[in-house]
Amino acid sequence: MSDLQAIISDVHGNFEAMKAVLDDILSKNITDIVCLGDLIGYGPNPKECIDFATNFRITMIGNHEEALMEELRTSGFNPKASGSRNWTYEQLNLFDEEHKDENAKRWDFIGEMEETRTEDDIMYVHASPCDPTREYIYQRDIAQPVKMKRIFAEIEHICFLGHTHQPGVFTEDLKYYSPRDLPKVCKLPQSKKSIVNVGSVGQPRDFDVRACYVVLDPKARAIAYRRVSYDVQCTAQKIFETDGLDDTLGQRLLAGR
């Protein structure tokens, strides 16, 4: 058994990507898996992704799970996201007698998801320490010192998050590093706080169609970004064939944006 930890986020109902990433994780004998939310939304296999996540050690709540639980939380969603939320809600219908028990377990699992988790000096959250499910932290925010200082004030040392689907590391001296700027295994600075965006498993938006996640060595405070190929065309085709999911959700998978 490995002492390493796999941190994934933003699966978005993309079961093909999730299976490929889990195979990659298991190939390293990693059993400690942390998911930072948004298992659902946009993609065609929400139930399967939820079921797989029940085996993870930690699963945080994302804005798409939150919107599923409370429709008013879709206020910041665009029409495509709102449409996928409504379609996902129907897939988890508790009035479907054939799948009622299974869906009830899925709703219970979502209802038990945490907003934040801190272990030692490491924080896990979906979006931001200040607003766990909704605030975006983009690369361009390094030019907003007031915003970044407010966020870093909530972090003891390291925070892992997702939400933007764009992998990268922020440090409290207002520096940003994309994965290509980092060594294959990157030791996070001991003397500075860091925010690590782990990217997205199911809907990457950095013009790389491959699934993205992070491997953490908690003792060494070192990370490694992993990119994993999967059958993107298969997932996209499922979206194209699903009434209730907009075709652009499949098209963007093929473009990695």
SS3 for 238? helix
Does residue 66 surpass a pLDDT of 70? yes
Q: How is 188-227 classified by DSSP, letter by letter?
A: PPSSS-EEEE---SSS--SS--SEEEEEEETTTTEEEEEE
Q: CATH number, domain at 73?
A: 3.60.21.10
Is residue 76 over pLDDT 80?
no
Contacts of 53 (CB under 8 A, 6+ apart): 11, 35, 39, 59, 109
Span 124-158, pLDDT tens digits: 999 999 999 999 999 999 999 999 999 999 999 99
What's the confidence (pLDDT) of residue 254? Answer: 96
Structural domain harbouring 22: 5-255
| Tally of structural domains, the chain | 1
Return the percentage of the chain with pLDDT > 70, whole number.
98
Query: How high is the pLDDT of residue 73?
Result: 59
Q: Average per-residue pLDDT in the chain?
A: 95
Global pTM value: 0.95
Query: What pLDDT does residue 45 have?
Result: 98
Check whether 33 has a pLDDT greater than 80. Answer: yes
